Amino acid sequence: MEPRKLRVAVHKFASCDGCQLAFLNAGEALLALSERVDFVHFAELGPMDPEAEVDVAFIEGSVCTREEGDRLQRIRARSRFLISLGACATAGGLQALRNLADGEAWLNEIYPRREYLDALATATPLSEEVTVDLAIWGCPVNGEQVFQVIAELERGLTPRLPDDPLCLECKRRGAVCTLVTQGRPCLGPVTRGGCGALCPRFGRDCYGCFGPSEHPNTEALGRRFEGLGLIDAAIARRFLFINSAAPAFREAGLRWGGRPACP
């Protein structure tokens, strides 16, 4: 008797769809995966059954509307394993920048007829609403990590993704340190690896797409940024950009002003 296939759903909340493209861009690997698992809901791939009971539910995006909050509760009740997919689902994403302002006033200034708008004053990660079994960080996520997680779940294992600082990944891939050699305000020392050190390998400083690493020393790095000549608002902006709702980055951003200028 063949083992039962995992029933998998991929849901979208407030987001840009970039993390779902980590699946679609996999090409032949996705075709091979679809023979091993049963995608029962994945709108961008084709199957549509958002209320189905599944073994694994991937959710991209943050909670920004009342409807999303209600839908998240239903998905959690129908999923054995729930995974936040990417920065928006895991730490609020760019839209969580609204949490640093007066959300109600912000919405009233932009939309003249609020009665037609189902929007909350805040944008929150999934973990603030329901229990999340695993977080896959990234903006967007690394498709290889997503497929690794599915393979481990197929074998009955509990997935665990690395949370070492990006600096270690830079060393392994031979990337020249932009902080040391160019004096650029790189977040690599406090950001988890997983992106393949993409930005540093092309001479660009890390923006923290993959969220805080384990035990990040954000205070020391912020002081180093001061030594590079960054003003407080610019330092806050570095930490409160893509993953502003991640506790370590939020606390660091608030330490240096809390309300950075728009990116």
pLDDT digits (tens, 9 = 90+) for 243-260: 999 999 999 999 998 654
Mean pLDDT of the region 14-18: 93
Please return the burial class of 216, using the count of CB atoms within 10 Å of its CB with bins 0-12, 13-18 and 19+: buried
Structural domain includes residue 232: yes
Q: Give me the phi and psi of 35, to 5 degrees please.
A: -85, -20
Shared domain for 83 and 201, answered yes or no, is no
Does the pLDDT value for residue 99 go beyond 70?
A: yes
Structural domain includes residue 261: no
Domain boundary among the residues 104, 124, 154 is at 154
Q: For the chain, first and last CA: distance in Å?
A: 55
Q: Give me the phi and psi of 149, to 5 degrees please.
A: -60, -45
The count of structural domains within the chain is: 2
Quote the domain boundaries for residue 88: 7-154
Structural domain includes residue 2: no
Shared domain for 23 and 137, answered yes or no, is yes
Of 96, 120, 136, 68, the C-alpha closest to 243 is: 96
Shared domain for 20 and 136, answered yes or no, is yes
Shared domain for 22 and 117, answered yes or no, is yes
Digit-coded pLDDT (tens) for 160-179 = 898 999 999 999 999 999 99
Shared domain for 201 and 243, answered yes or no, is yes
For the domain that residue 124 is a member of, what is the CATH number?
3.40.50.700
Annotate 181-248 with three-state secondary structure. HHCCCCCHHHEECCCCCHHHHCCCCCCCCCCECCCCCHHHHHHHHHHCCCCHHHHHHHHCCCCCCCHH
Structural domain includes residue 205: yes
Q: How far is CA 104 from CA 14, 53, 110, 122, 124, in A?
A: 18, 36, 10, 9, 15
The predicted structure's pLDDT at residue 201 = 95
Shared domain for 95 and 137, answered yes or no, is yes
Instruction: Map tokens 């180093």 to a residue.
Output: 224
Mean pLDDT of the region 37-51: 95
Domain boundary among the residues 154, 175, 197 is at 154
Cis peptide before 140 (omega within 30 of 0): yes
Shared domain for 170 and 149, answered yes or no, is no
Shared domain for 23 and 63, answered yes or no, is yes
Mean pLDDT of the region 28-52: 94
The rounded distance, in Å, linking the Cα atoms of 105 and 241 is 21
Domain boundary among the residues 127, 154, 181 is at 154
Shared domain for 115 and 174, answered yes or no, is no
What is the secondary structure of 1-62 as a DSSP string?
A: -PPPPPEEEEEE-BS-STTTHHHHTTTHHHHHHHHHSEEEEETTTS---TT--EEEEEEESB
> pTM (2 decimals)?
0.91
Structural domain includes residue 260: no
Mean pLDDT of the region 153-159: 93
Digit-coded pLDDT (tens) for 188-200 = 999 999 999 999 9
Mean pLDDT of the region 213-223: 96
What is the secondary structure of 63-130 as a DSSP string?
A: B-SHHHHHHHHHHHHTEEEEEEESHHHHH--GGGGGGGS-HHHHHHHH-S-GGG----S--B-GGGTS
Structural domain includes residue 178: yes
Structural domain includes residue 69: yes
Q: Give me the phi and psi of 84, to 5 degrees please.
A: -80, 130
Structural domain includes residue 161: no
The predicted structure's pLDDT at residue 105 = 84
Largest CA distance in the chain: 66
Shared domain for 144 and 175, answered yes or no, is no
Shared domain for 142 and 211, answered yes or no, is no
pLDDT-derived band at 102, boundaries 50, 70, 90: confident
Shared domain for 140 and 13, answered yes or no, is yes
In the structure encoding, which two tokens stand for residue 130, read together? 């329901």
The rounded distance, in Å, linking the Cα atoms of 114 and 108 is 7
Of 168, 254, 262, 177, the C-alpha closest to 218 is: 254
